[in-house]
Amino acid sequence: MIRTSPGKAPAIFLLFGLKTVLRDLPGRAATCQRCRQLVQHRLQERATKFTLFFIPVFTASRAFNITCSNCGQHSMVKARLKNALLR
Ligand SMILES: [Zn+2]
C-alpha cells in the first residue's frame, strides 16, 4: 500500500520511449524498377517498438525496405507486398 499525505497524489515514475529495430529478412531475385536487371533484392524490416522501462511492449509501426543489390535503388514495401516477395 502506498501512503500519501492528505491532498497529494502518489508519485509514479514511468520510463517509456521508442526503439527502432532493424531485421534482415531473406530477399529474393526480382527485376529492379531502376536498372531493369533481374538481381537479388535485400529485404529489411524496420519496426518501431514502444518500450516501457526499456522493455518492448508493442510494435508502434512497421515498414519494409527493399534494396537492389545491383544499383542500390531503395524503396519502401507495404506488408502485403513483402509477403509476396517471401514466396
Ligand atoms: Zn537496380
Q: Where are the domains of the chain?
A: 17-80
The CA angle 6-11-14, to the nearest 5 degrees, is: 160
Report CA(43)–ligand 1 centroid distance (Å).
14
Report CA(24)–ligand 1 centroid distance (Å).
19
Quick: pLDDT tens for 41-56. Answer: 999 999 999 999 999 9
Dihedral, CA atoms, 26, 31, 36, 41, nearest 10 degrees? Answer: 0
- pLDDT confidence of residue 48: 92
- pLDDT confidence of residue 27: 84
Cell output for 1: 500500500
**pTM given for the model:** 0.65
